[in-house]
Amino acid sequence: MITEIPKILCIIQDGSGFGCNWTSYTNRGQDLAQAVFLNKNLPEYLINGGYGTGYNDPIWPEYEKKIYSKHFPHICIWEKSIK
C-alpha cells in the first residue's frame, strides 16, 4: 500500500496511436487514471510528452496550469489546478 503521494507523475511516449499500448494512460476510465484519482491527494505536477502530436494540451482538467513547454520532443509540465 502506498502511504505517500508522489510529487510528480510523468507520462512520456504513452504508446497511443500506433504504439500498440493496451490501455490509454490519459483516459479517465482506464487503469492508470483510476489509480491516480482513487486517492484525493493528487501529485502536484504532471509531466507529459513524446514525439508526435497531442502533447501540448492538458490530459486531465485537474492539471491545466502549464508551467513549462518544450517542442521536439514535446514536453509539458503541468501544475495541479485544484488545491
Residue 17 falls inside a structural domain? yes
Residue 73 falls inside a structural domain? yes
Residue 3 falls inside a structural domain? no
pLDDT per residue as tens, the chain (83 positions) = 566 778 999 988 876 655 566 677 888 888 888 888 887 788 999 999 888 777 888 888 999 999 999 988 889 999 998 76
Residue 2 falls inside a structural domain? no
Give residue 77's pLDDT. 95
Give residue 16's pLDDT. 63
Count: domains in the chain: 1
* Cβ 62 vs Cβ 80: under 8 Å: yes
On the 0-12 / 13-18 / 19+ scale of CB atoms within 10 A, 63 is buried
**Domain of 62?**
8-79
